[in-house]
Amino acid sequence: MPFGRRTSHARVALGALASLALAVPGFAQTGGAARDRDVAGALAPVVITGSSAWQDRWLAPGSVEVVDGEELRAGQLQINLSEGLGRVPGLVVRNRQNYAQDLQISMRGYGARAPFGVRGVRLYVDGIPASAPDGQGQAANFPIGSADRIEVIRGPFSALYGASAGGVIALYTQDGQRPTEWRTGVVAGENGLWRFSTQLSGQTGTAEQPGWSYTLDAGKFATDGERTQSAASRSTGNLKLSRAHDGGRTVLVLNRQSSQAQDPLGLTRAEFDADPRQTTAAATQFNTRKSVSQTQIGLAWEQALGNGHRIELMGYGGQRAVRQFQAIPTGAQIPAGSAGGVIDLDRDYWGWNARWRLDRSYDSGRLTVAAGLASDRQTEDRLGYENFVGAMLGVQGRLRRDETNRASTLDPYLQAEWRTSTTTLLAGLRHSSVRFKSSDRFIAAGNPDDSGAVKFDGWSPVLGIRREITPQLQAFASVGRGFETPTLNEVAYRPSGLTGLNTAVNASRSLSAETGLRGKQAWGTWSATLFETRTQDEIVVLSNTGGRSTFQNAGRTRRQGFELAGLMQWGKFTLTPAFTWMDARYRDGFVTCTVTPCAVPNVPVAAGSRLPGLARQQAYVQLAWEPGWANSVFTLEALHTGRMAVNDRNTDFTPASTVFNLGVRFEQNRGDWTWREFVRVDNFTDRVYAGSVIVNEGNNRFFEPGAGRSVAVGVELVRKFR
C-alpha cells in the first residue's frame, strides 16, 4: 500500500462482511422485469434497475439518462468518464489533464466549486458509494471496461440519495453470461499514453443449473502528461460475483485501485496567455504529486417473502490511503497553526442499507412501496507535515498536524409509486442526519486542542408525475427539497487561521423543480426540460491563501435553464445532440477575504455575480456514419463550452471554446473471434482553450489548459468459449 501506515485490508474485508446486516439505498424499482432475471442492478441504489433502459427513462417522472456500456466504450480510450457522457445534457465532466486532482464533475451547477475531487454529485459503482458520507467523491475507480450501463439522474429526484446529492452518476458492471467471453484491448496515444485492460465473464454450472456468474476486469494505464510535471499511472481491478437463488439473488463486488500522479497545478492568466503548455515553476520546485491506494468490498442479498413482499440487504467497507505533496510556500507553513504542505491520511469507510419493498399489481396499474434505513461512516487518520527540510523543497519535514476525523450518516427513507400505462405518480421522503467529529492530537504552543463536533439534519421530500399525452409524447414534472453539507475539508479550518472544525458553516438548503416533454418518432427520440433551483445559505469560499481554504455561507443563489437532447437516425447517419443553457447567479451580495487569517471579511461580491466554474451554454453533437463496408463507423464530435467565471468576484473569465474530434472504428467477426480497431483524433484543429477552472484559487492559478491535438489508436480482441 503506497505510503500507507495503519490499516490492514483483511480487517477492512472482515469489517465489511460483519456490517452486512443491511442494504441498498432507497428508491423503489421502476420496472418489475429486473426482479425476474439476473441483471446488473442487484445493488441498485434508486430509480432505475435496468430492465429496459429506454422504457425506464420513458416512464420515469423525472430526468434520467442511461448510457449503454458498449456505447461508452466504442472507439474510446476507456480511461475517463469524460469520454462517453457528452450526450447527457446538464452534466459536465471535464478532464483536467491532471490525474492528481481527478475529474471535475458538475450537474446543473452542483459540484462546480470543487477545487479537486467531486462535490455535490453522488457517485456509485454497483450500488456501492464512491462518495464519502461528507459528500467528497472520486471517479477514478469506475470500471469502464466492464460497464453494463451508466445511469445519470438530475434534478429533484437526486435528493432522494441523501445529503449533498445535486445529481447522481451510477455505474453498473456486466453480469457474467453464457457463453464465457474474454476481451482484451490496448490503446496507445500522444505523450506516452497507453492503456491495457482485459475482461473475463461467464457462468459456472450448466445451462439447466447455473451457478455463479462472474465478471473480472483488470487494467493499467500510464501517461507522460500533456505538460511537465503531469505524468501519471493507474492500476485497477474489479471482480463481481452474482448468483440467483429461489426468489432472490446474492452479489459480491471487490474493487482495488492504486495510482501515482504528478500535479502540474493551474496557470495564472499571464502564464496561460504566454504559453498554455507550460507548467508553473512552483510545481517542479515542490515536486507536487499524489499517490492513492484503495480497496473495497460489497455484499448484497435480496429475497422474496411472498405476496409481493421483498427484503434487500447490503453492506460494504473499504480503505483508502492518500499522500499528497502540495506547493505551499515555506513561509506559509511557519505559523503555529499551519498544517504543513504534505497530506498523509488513511481512511476506513463502511456502510449498510436495509430495504423492504412491496409490489402489487391491480387491474388498473401497479403499486410499489419501499421503506428502509441507510448508514455510511468514515474514520480518517490525517497527518500533516512540512514539505521542506532546510533548503530542500518537496520532501517530508516536521509533523504539523495529527488528528482523527469522523463522518457518519443515518438516513431513513420512504417512497411510493403508482404506475399505469399512461401515468406515473411518485412521492418520496428521506431524512438525512450527518455528523462530523474531529479529535486533535497535535497540541503545541500557539496550536491548542482543536477537537470539535458538528451535526447537520435535513428532510428531502420529492413529488413527481408523468403523463402520456399521446403514445409518442410524454410530459413530466417534479419538485423536491434537498440540502448540501460542507465536506470535512471545507470545515477543516476556521477564519482565524487555526485548524479545527469551522462550526459557523451551515448546510445549504435548496428547492428544485423541473418540467419537460419526451417524444419518440420513427426517426428517433428527443427530450426538452426546463429547470430551476433556488438555494439558501450557499456554501462559498471565505478565503483561499497559503494553501488553506476557509468557507462560509453566502445567502441565496438561483440556477435556472433548459436542456435539449435527442437521438436521430436517417439511413446510415445518426445524430446525437445535447444542449444546456443555464444562468447561475448569486441573488444576494456578500463579502469575502483575500488573506488568511481573516478577522473581518472586506472584499465585496456583488449580487447578480455569476457562480464560478459554470458555462452559460454547453453544446455537444456527434454525427456517426456507417457506410456499410468492413463494419466501419465514422464519427465527428463537436463540444462547445461558453465562458466561465474563475472566482466569485468574476474578475476574469475563461474564453468560450469549440473543440472537434474525429474517429473511425472497424469490426471483423470470424466465428467466436471478434477484432475491433479504432483511430481517433481529439481536438484536431489544435484549439488552445481552458479545459477547466480551479475555482477561487488563492494564487490566481485558475486556468487548467485543455489538451492539444492528440492521436490515439486502439485494438480489442474478443473470444467466446462455447
- 32 CB burial (10 A radius; 0-12, 13-18, 19+): middle
All cell numbers assigned to 634 = 465514422
pLDDT at 11 over 60: no
pLDDT of residue 542: 87
* Rounded-to-integer distance, Cα 528 and Cα 564, Å: 5
- Cβ count within 10 A of residue 418: 16
Closest of 420, 245, 447, 421 to residue 338, by C-alpha:
447
Residue 554 grid cell: 453566502
> Count of CB atoms within 10 A of residue 48's CB?
27
Task: State the number of CA atoms in the 13 A half-sphere of 141 facing the CB.
Answer: 28
**Cβ neighbours of residue 95 under 8 Å, at least 6 residues apart?**
80, 82, 103, 691, 692, 707
- In terms of Cα–Cα distance, which of 685, 676, 675, 722 is closest to 706? 685
Q: Which residue has the higher pLDDT, 291 or 118?
A: 291
Place of cell 447578480: 608
Distance of CA 481 to the CA centre of its chain: 21
CA distance 388 to 686: 39
Given a cut of 80, whether residue 175 has pLDDT beyond it is yes
Give me the phi and psi of 139, to 5 degrees please: -105, 5
**pLDDT at residue 303, rounded to an integer:** 94
The whole-angstrom separation of Cα 30 and Cα 51 is: 9
CA distance 108 to 463: 19
Q: Given this model, what pLDDT does residue 135 score?
A: 83
Give the per-residue pLDDT at 644.
96
- Helix, strand, or coil (residue 379): strand
Q: Collapsing DSSP states into helix, strand and coil, what is residue 67?
A: strand
Q: How confident is the model at residue 59 (pLDDT cuts 50, 70, 90)?
A: confident
By C-alpha distance, which of 508, 557, 524, 599 is closest to 109?
Answer: 557
Whether residue 459 is predicted with pLDDT greater than 60 in this model: the reply is yes
* Percent of the chain that is helix, strand, coil (3-state, to 5): 10, 55, 35
Cβ 2 vs Cβ 258: under 8 Å: yes
> Please, which pLDDT band fits residue 663 given cuts at 50, 70 and 90?
very high
More reliable by pLDDT, 562 or 629? 562
HEC letters along 628-676: CCCCCEEEEEEEEECCEECCCCCCCEECCEEEEEEEEEEEEEECCEEEE
Closest CA to 158 of 149, 170, 150, 148: 170
HEC letters along 273-292? HHCCCCCCHHHHHCCCEEEE
Query: What's the grid cell of residue 339?
Result: 498544517
Report yes or no: 526 and 566 within 8 Å, Cβ to Cβ: yes
- Burial tier of 628 (Cβ tally within 10 Å: 0-12, 13-18, 19+): exposed
**φ, ψ dihedrals at 12, nearest 5°:** -60, -45
Question: Within 13 Å and on the Cβ side, how many CA atoms surround 373?
Answer: 3
Would you state the cell numbers that stand for residue 62, as one nine-digit string?
Answer: 423525472
Query: What pLDDT does residue 16 have?
Result: 37
pLDDT of residue 497: 63
Q: b/e for 275-312, b at 16 or more Cβ within 10 A? A: ebeebbebbbebebbbbbbbbbbbbbbbebeeeeebbb
Q: Which helix (H) or strand (E) holds 271?
A: helix 269-274
List the chain domain ranges: 9-721
Could you give phi then psi for residue 369, rounded to 5 degrees?
-125, 135
pLDDT of residue 137: 85
Spatial separation of the C-alpha atoms in residues 285 and 57, rounded to whole Å: 51
CATH number of 9-721, picked from 3.60.20.10, 2.40.170.20, 3.40.720.10, 1.10.10.10? 2.40.170.20
Whether 301 and 281 have beta carbons less than 8 Å apart is answered as no
In the structure, what pLDDT confidence band is assigned to residue 332 with cuts at 50, 70 and 90?
confident
Quick one: which of 262, 281, 272, 271 has its CA closest to 224?
Answer: 262
Spatial distance between the Cα atoms of 274 and 287, rounded to a whole number of angstroms: 23
Q: Which residues pair with 650 in a beta bridge?
A: none
Question: What is the spatial distance between Cα 440 and Cα 452, in angstroms, rounded to a whole number?
Answer: 8
C-alpha cell at 538: 450557499
Q: How far is CA 322 from the centre of its chain?
A: 18
Mean pLDDT (the chain, rounded): 88
Query: Under a CB-based contact definition with an 8 Å cutoff, are residues 532 and 571 in contact?
Result: no
Assess whether pLDDT exceeds 70 at residue 540: yes
pLDDT bucket at 56, cuts 50 / 70 / 90? low
Q: What is the DSSP letter of 57?
A: H
Residue 665 C-alpha cell reads as: 472504428
Q: Which of 20-29, 45-54, 168-177, 255-264 has the lowest mean pLDDT?
A: 20-29
- Number of H helices and number of E strands within the chain? 5, 39
The whole-number pLDDT of residue 40 equals 37
Please say if the pLDDT value at position 247 is more than 50. Answer: yes
Average pLDDT estimate for 515-528 = 94
Cell numbers given for 476 = 413530466
* Mean per-residue pLDDT, 470-480: 95
Q: What is the pLDDT of residue 25?
A: 36
pLDDT at residue number 445? 83
pLDDT for residue 225 is more than 80: yes
610-632: average pLDDT: 94
pLDDT band at 18 (very low <50, low <70, confident <90, very high): very low
User: CB-based contacts of 256: which residues, under 8 Å, 6+ apart?
Assistant: 236, 237, 238, 294, 295
Structural element, H or E, at residue 212:
strand 210-223
CA angle 436, 4, 191 (to 5 degrees): 105
* Residue count (the chain): 722
Burial of 520 (0-12, 13-18, 19+ CB in 10 A): middle
C-alpha cell at 711: 492521436
Distance CA 125, CA 45 (A): 10
Least confident of 331-340, 416-425, 490-499: 490-499
* CA pair distance 303, 24, nearest whole angstrom: 13
Per-residue pLDDT reduced to its tens digit, 155-165: 998 988 888 88
Q: How far is CA 379 from the centre of its chain?
A: 21
Q: Which three cell numbers stand for residue 638?
A: 463537436
pLDDT band at 435 (very low <50, low <70, confident <90, very high): very high
Percent of the chain at pLDDT exceeding 70: 91
